[in-house]
Amino acid sequence: MPISKVKQSGEVLSNPTLALNDWKKAIVPGTVLTTQLANNEIPDPFYGMNNKLIPDIYQTGRDYYTYWFVKDFKENMPANNGRVWLNFRGINYSCEIYLNGKKVNDKPFKGMFLRKRFNITKLLAKNGANRLAVIVYPPDVVGNPNGGQGGDGTIARGVAHQYTAGWDWIRPIRDRNTGIWDKVTIEKTGIVNIENPHVITLVPGKRKPDVLQQPATIKTTAELTNTSLSPISGTLTMTIDGQKISQKVTLKPNQTELVKLPDYLLKNPKLWWPANYGEQHLYDVKFTFLTNATTVSDSEQLKVGVREIGNEWNAVSNSKQVTVNGQKIFIKGGNWIISDAMLRFTNERYDNEIRYHRDMNLNLLRIWGGALVERPEFYEACDKYGLLVIQDFWMSGDCNGRWVDPMKLEDQWTRRKYPDDHHLFLESASDMIKMIRNHSSLAIYCGGNEIMPPDDILIPLRDKILPKLDGTRWFIDYSNADDMSKNTIGGNGDGPYT
């Protein structure tokens, strides 16, 4: 419901006894526009000239697309020291969250690319009838869609995708994709919960598919959070191919600790290969934390391909050469921006679209920096079909000041400092790295499209954050950096083009 039609506070709205008359059905995951479209309040913006009929947020102001989302759900208070968690995988751009008359987020929740997790155990209703109310605000700076690439460029002042202000390939998205655009889930655990498990696979030497393999090394870590006021002892276990690797730990009260398990030598591994180089075998990997011999506090399950991605300089092509399991890979790639501009993603859609790219004999997709860090379901499809991925972070030469542009509101050097909040950019990048790093298809990180981030983003991202959180993949400062290719014969670079 738009904020203009709601007079109650979040505390009142989230009271399950309050009658909600004339509220429309919302689309979650979704945006304000997808909800309006589902309720026949706007025409399909992708048909004919319909997009011109939809008010743009630059003219209406942010309040026009500021919406309340309310959800009633059943969840009883847990027994035996259980915990209940409310997880948001993506909200654009900022929000306030209320549950059963209480505010959930005591600190601001801002940024499109930032997951959030809340312990709602004590906020649950005793009778199990709960109500969640979330007010979602659009980006702080929505940008003027005055044509060109990213409109007046100010959309890049936020940590969000830039194409919503319009580009040469798309009209502006009128609400700038404001909404609870990604999944919302309820999770139940014990006192200790597992977050961000990490699996690294090392496959030394030059391998061939479909032969007896030398062992591969499996390195694993996980973040464990003790939510109690007392120390907790227990065992973290990782299971792969029927084998269990364990580590006993004692966790301090109300703290999160990174726990490393012993390395495991996987004999004769079934390797993961890019499309047309071999099979895309994926192992089931399970992490479990036991607080005693039989009580499972939490578990997480992943699918992991055993492979090692490398790179080396190719003197013949005068460019970097990608290797997988020691074998040179002839890259046949394409640019990927987004599956749907209004973020209407499904597992089936991702699976079909990635399969189509595989069937076109591509083996790599590069995700453009004016869009998003792709969702886990995208990467699952790439893992399944053997497409390598280059993942850009959220920069573009057009909006972030690579060149002088008369369409832009601010000068080139002011735009070079975008976004406004560099700390939020780095926090979001760290979280997205944790979200996608276990996918075997992820091959390369890139600082941005046709431009590198400002130094106080680039240097900590490249030299501290990535080595700490991943450290297994090549990072390039920007998409046409010289350390990727110095070959001008094939038209590498910015032009001029003939």
Q: What is the pLDDT of residues 3-44, one digit of tens each?
A: 999 999 999 999 999 999 999 999 999 999 999 999 999 999
The stretch 304-310 carries a mean pLDDT of 98
| Residues in CB range of 59: below 8 A, 6 or more apart | none
pLDDT of residue 494 exceeding 80: no
Q: How far apart are CA 184 and CA 172, in angstroms?
A: 26
pLDDT of residue 233 exceeding 60: yes
pTM across the whole model:
0.96
Per-residue pLDDT of 80-120, as tens digits, reads 889 999 999 999 999 999 999 999 998 888 999 999 999 99
CATH number of the domain located at residue range(s) 309-476 in this protein = 3.20.20.80
- In the chain, CATH 2.60.120.260 covers 3-187
- In the chain, CATH 2.60.40.10 covers 190-304
pLDDT of residue 345 exceeding 60: yes
pLDDT at 106: 87
| Tokens found for residue 399 | 């909006």
pLDDT of residue 457 exceeding 60: yes
The stretch 179-197 carries a mean pLDDT of 98
pLDDT at 492: 61
Q: What is the mean pLDDT of the chain?
A: 95
Per-residue pLDDT of 41-61, as tens digits, reads 999 999 999 999 999 999 999
Rg for the chain, CA atoms, rounded: 24
Placement of tokens 């009260």 in the chain: 253
Q: Which residue has the higher pLDDT, 495 or 397?
A: 397
Q: How far apart are CA 437 and CA 116, in angstroms?
A: 18
Q: How far apart are CA 78 and CA 127, in angstroms?
A: 12
pLDDT category of residue 498 using cuts at 50, 70 and 90 = very low
pLDDT at 206: 97
Taking residue 349's Cβ as centre, other Cβ atoms within 10 Å add up to: 15
Nearest residue to 28 (alpha-carbon basis) of 75, 78, 68 = 68
The stretch 312-316 carries a mean pLDDT of 89
pLDDT at 495: 56
Specify whether domain 190-304 bears CATH 3.10.290.10.
no
| Tokens found for residue 105 | 């987020």
Give the angle subtended at the CA of 209 by the CAs of 203 and 212, to the nearest 5°: 75
The stretch 460-469 carries a mean pLDDT of 98
Residue-wise DSSP of 334-371: EEE--S-TT----HHHHHHHHHHHHHTT--EEEE-TTS
Nearest residue to 11 (alpha-carbon basis) of 115, 136, 96 = 96
- In the chain, CATH 3.20.20.80 covers 309-476
Q: Where are the beta strands (DSSP E) in 159-231?
A: 184-189, 192-202, 216-226
Superfamily of structural domain 3-187: Galactose-binding domain-like (2.60.120.260)
**93: preceding bond cis by omega (within 30 degrees):** yes
Give the burial class of 141: count Cβ atoms within 10 A of its Cβ; 0-12 exposed, 13-18 middle, 19 or more buried.
Answer: buried
| Residues in CB range of 496: below 8 A, 6 or more apart | none
**What is the Cα 425 distance to its own chain's centre?**
13
Nearest residue to 428 (alpha-carbon basis) of 138, 112, 109, 91 = 112
pLDDT category of residue 488 using cuts at 50, 70 and 90 = confident
pLDDT of residue 250 exceeding 80: yes
pLDDT of residue 167 exceeding 70: yes
Which pairing describes strands 129-137 and 94-99: parallel, antiparallel, or unpaired? antiparallel
